[in-house]
Amino acid sequence: MEETNELMRQRKEKLNEIREAGIDPYPHQYAPTHTTSGILQEFEDVNETPDETNRVTIAGRIMTKRDHGKSSFAHLQDSTGQIQIYVRRDDIGADSYRIYRRFDVGDIIGASGVVFRTRTGELTILIDAVELLSKSIRPLPEKWHGLQDKQTRYRQRYADLIMNPEVKEVFVKRTKIVQTIRDMLNEQNFIEVETPVLQPIYGGASARPFTTYHNTLDQPLYLRIANELYLKRLIVGGFDRVYEFSRDFRNEGMDRDHNPEFTMLELYLAYADYLEVMELTENLIAQTVEKIHGTTKITYQDQKIDFTPPWQRITMIEAIQEYSDLDPDSLSAHELYTKASNAGVELAGDESKGEIIAELFDIYVESKLIQPTFIYDYPIEVSPFAKKKPENPELVERFEFFISGMEVGNAFSELNDPIDQRQRFMEQASNLAKGDEEAFMVDEDYLRALEYGMPPTGGLGIGIDRLTMLLTDQYSIRDVILFPQMRPEN
C-alpha cells in the first residue's frame, strides 16, 4: 500500500508538471484512423524502411515503456490488441519529448506516425506526433503478482480487463452468443419484447425475491424472479411467438453457477408442446455452438462435449433408476423417504413423494449428466406451471436439459387451464404461509388472463450465463458476468 501511495504521489507530480506546461492531460476527443489489429493486418508486408504512405494515427494505453536517452520504445494497447511504437526526440521535438518522458505505463495516449518493421521483425510505428489523452494516477497492477487473486479481479474488473485481454474475449464471445440466438429466433418469426422488472406479484419460479417499495404508489414491489407469467399474458393477447433476454433477480445463495442477478432467455411458442420445444432447444443450442466454435464438438473443463442433435432423452424416474439403486415407482412416499434419509438426503419430513423424487435426482443424477441430456416428465409437486400428462396426472410435461453436470434450461407444456392453475396457486400460497420462502402468491391478474383463453403453448428458459460458461470454458459464473455480486470489501 505504501509503495502504491508513493507511486501515485510521483504520478501526481508529473500531472502537475504537464499542466504547468499548458497541456490539458484530459482532452475532450481524439480521432484515430486505425486500430492496432487493423495495422497488423493492413501493413503485414511493410519492410524496415519507414514510408509516408504508411501513415497512421492510433490511440491506446501504454502497457510497456522503455526509455533510452533520446529515444523510447513502448507498447500501446487498444480494444483490438497491442502494437509497438518508437518515439525519438529528433522526430517529435525537444519540448514534446520532455513531456513524453512524463508519461507512465497506464497512461492513454494518441500518436501519429509511419509504420515500419524493426530489424528484429516487429511491426512498429515511428512516431512524429504524440498527445496525452488521459493521465493514469494509479499504477497498473503487476500481471503476475498484483492481479492473481480472483476476488480482486472480480471487484476491479476494469483492471482485470486491462491486464488480461483474454478476459475481454470471454465477454466479446458472450455478446456473440446472445446475438446468434437472437438472430435465429428472429428468423423463426419470434418477436422480442420487454416485460416489467418491478412487479407487484412475483412468480414464474421457485425463489426468494428481492423487495423494494414504490413511494408514489404506496405499495411493495419485487424484482422479478422470472418473466414467464408476463410473456404468457402476451400469448393470450395474440403474440404467438415471443421471447425476452431478461435480467432476473433471486435473493438466494451464491456459488459456482448461481449469482443473485443473472440473465435468462425465455421464449414461448403457441400451439406447441414440450416435445416440439425440446427439438427447438437442441437445434438452437447446437447451431449457436457451431456458429461460435465452427463445430458442435467442444471441450469444457477437460470434458469433451458433443452438442450434435439429437440429444439423449430420459425421464426423471428412469434417470434415478439408472444412477442409483432406487426405484421410485415401486416405493411409497414413506419408503422413499426412509431410503433417501438413509442415503444422506436432507429432508424436513413433510415432503411429498414427488418432492423426494426431485431431491433424489439432484443427489444421484445431476452431476453425472455430462453430455447434453433432456430429463423429462417431472413430478407435479415441483412444477406448478406445467400441464399434467394425460396418462399420468402425477407427472407433468416438463423437461430440463443438463450439460457437464449443470442445469442449463427448463421447459414446459404450459398449463393453460385456469381452474387447475388456481388450485396450484392456492397450494403455493399455502406453502408460503407455512414459511416456504420459495413459494409464491396467487396472481389473480394472470388467472384472469388465462380465463380469456390461452392456446396450447410450449415455453423454454435458458440460463445465458451458464451457457456462456460452457461455450467459453469458464469454471465459474463469476467469470462470465462482468460485475458479479460480491461481499462488502471491508
Tens digit of each residue's pLDDT (9 = 90 or more) over 22-61: 999 999 999 999 999 999 999 999 998 988 999 999 999 9
> What is the rounded distance in angstroms from the CA atom of residue 97 to the CA atom of residue 350?
78
Could you tell me if 43 and 54 are in contact, meaning their C-beta atoms sit under 8 angstroms apart? yes
> What is the rounded distance in angstroms from the CA atom of residue 276 to the CA atom of residue 180?
21
The three cell numbers locating residue 60: 491506446
Closest CA to 76 of 38, 36, 113, 42: 36
Is omega for the bond preceding 488 within 30 degrees of 0, making it cis?
no
CA-based radius of gyration for the chain: 29
Q: Domains in the chain, start-ordered, CATH in brackets?
A: 2-140 (2.40.50.140), 162-324+365-479 (3.30.930.10)
β-strands 191-192, 241-249 pairing: parallel
pLDDT of residue 145: 56
Q: State the maximum Cα–Cα separation within the chain, in Å, rounded to a whole number.
A: 90
The three cell numbers locating residue 82: 497491442
Neighbours of 361 (CB within 10 A): 22
pLDDT of residue 76: 98
Q: What angle do CA 99, 104, 110 make, to 5 degrees?
A: 65
Name the CA dihedral angle for 336, 338, 342, 346, rounded to a multiple of 10 degrees.
Answer: 80
> What is the rounded distance in angstroms from the CA atom of residue 145 to the CA atom of residue 163?
11
pLDDT of residue 143: 65
**How confident is the chain (490 residues) per 10-residue block, as mean pLDDT?**
89 98 98 98 92 96 96 98 98 97 98 97 97 97 71 93 94 99 99 98 91 97 97 99 98 95 99 99 99 98 98 98 92 89 84 93 96 98 96 98 99 98 94 87 97 99 99 98 91
The burial of 349, by beta-carbon neighbours within 10 Å (0-12 exposed, 13-18 middle, 19 or more buried), is given as: exposed
